[in-house]
Amino acid sequence: MPDISTKYMGLNLKNPLVVSSSSLTQKLEGVKKCADAGAGAVVLKSLFEEQIEAETKVIEDGSDMLVHPEAIDYVRQMGMRIGPNEYIDLIEGAKKEVDIPIIASLNCITDRWWLDYAKEIERAGADAVELNIAIMPRSRGVTPGDIEKRYIRIVHNIRSSIELPIAVKIGPYFTVLPDIAGRLREAGADAIVLFNRFYQLDIDIENLKLKPGYRFSNPQEIYTPLRWMALLYDKVGCDLAASTGVHDGAGVIKMILAGADAVQVCSTLYLNGLEQISVMLEELGRWMDKRGFSSLSDFRGAMSKAESSQPEYYERLQYIKALVGIE
């Protein structure tokens, strides 16, 4: 078996497969199952900013005393300590029970909540933090620059409060991804995760109600993160992890060829069970053996734009029959 270990944000992973943040990693039992199934690391389910806001709101709404904004701030801070204690327990439990890196995940919309809490995560023994930043651009008066500044501020502030490695998980909806990726790196990101796949909204046409869309990705969704992995490899100055659409060993191989330091998986584990981790790793090992690769660094980024003799091919957006054979 070739050496499939990798380094991700300075962490030593025995293999590049990371179970991404989801209900699979919400409880200690789930984390243990992922470790037993052979994962290289896990990202815990995100702790959501709204969870904390919701808890503090109950206290605010129920008390006449708390009309003063400073008092509300105080209660909010208390709320931060009360609410997410279970999350700290999860980190501590996971560190005791499994021997793979544990990456905590914070969902950030503002930069208000997390500074003290990030320190607690560090104290609890997490190996790294992933910031799941997602801001819905819903108002006309807010510019892309305003929203991007918020991303940068969140990363910068958390960076200045902890020493832990920080990954930033973003969605694909930026006008100039290389620019925001570079600025996230400058703000202190040790890795960028390409990409989150957000909750999907659907409409029930019988009952005229909103309903959740299908939760899981399909293998064709690999194309967007694959292209961006290949474009950003060696250009950002930090590690890159893949997420979305990796369902099998071939997907893992493609992502590493494009430049991934680690490959996160989620939907395929829901659909095929945690055994899929070893199926994917075996496929990776067999492929490496066949090609004579003894470690991941033998081929990481080999199909990236940086290593290509035809870099323009990675930027092609339109179908042109003469070039791609189909219209």
Ligand X SMILES: Cc1cc2nc3c(=O)[nH]c(=O)nc-3n(C[C@H](O)[C@H](O)[C@H](O)COP(=O)(O)O)c2cc1C
DSSP state of 111: S
Nearer to ligand X, 21 or 293 (CB): 21
Side chain identity at 258, as an amino acid letter? A
Q: With CB under 6 A as the contact rule, which of the stretches 73-81, 82-90, 150-158, 259-267 interacts with ligand X?
A: 259-267
| 244 is a contact residue toward ligand X (CB under 6 A) | yes
| 11 is a contact residue toward ligand X (CB under 6 A) | no
Question: Which residues have a Cβ under 8 Å from the Cβ of 111 and sit 6 or more positions away?
Answer: 150, 153, 154, 157, 158
Minimum CB–partner distance for residue 77 and ligand X (Å): 23
Tokens describing residue 262: 């680690």
Query: Which residue in the set 6, 15, 21, 276 belongs to the binding site for ligand X (CB under 6 A)?
Result: 21
Query: Which residue in the set 22, 56, 276, 304 belongs to the binding site for ligand X (CB under 6 A)?
Result: 22
Site string for ligand X, 129-168 (x = CB under 6 A): ---x------------------------------------
Whether residue 111 contacts residue 154, with contact meaning beta carbons closer than 8 Å, is answered with yes
Tokens describing residue 9: 């944000």
Tokens describing residue 128: 């790294």
| 265 is a contact residue toward ligand X (CB under 6 A) | yes
Tokens describing residue 320: 């042109």
Q: Which of residues 57-96 bind ligand X (CB under 6 A)?
A: none
Beta strands in the chain (DSSP E): 6-8, 11-13, 17-19, 41-43, 47-48, 102-108, 128-133, 166-170, 191-194, 201-204, 209-212, 239-242, 262-265
Whether residue 174 contacts residue 131, with contact meaning beta carbons closer than 8 Å, is answered with no
| 216 is a contact residue toward ligand X (CB under 6 A) | yes
| 276 is a contact residue toward ligand X (CB under 6 A) | no
Rounded CA separation 218/264 (Å): 14
Q: What are phi and psi of 127, to 5 degrees?
A: -85, -25
Q: With CB under 6 A as the contact rule, which of the stretches 31-39, 211-219, 283-291, 292-300 interacts with ligand X?
A: 211-219
Q: With CB under 6 A as the contact rule, which of the stretches 7-15, 63-71, 155-163, 209-217 interacts with ligand X?
A: 209-217
Burial class (CB in 10 A: 0-12, 13-18, 19+), 179: exposed
Nearer to ligand X, 75 or 264 (CB): 264
Residue 108: beta bridge partners? 133
| 6 is a contact residue toward ligand X (CB under 6 A) | no
Minimum CB–partner distance for residue 122 and ligand X (Å): 19
| 226 is a contact residue toward ligand X (CB under 6 A) | no
| 296 is a contact residue toward ligand X (CB under 6 A) | no
Which residues lie near ligand X (CB under 6 A)? 20-23, 45-46, 105, 132, 169, 196-197, 215-217, 243-246, 265-267
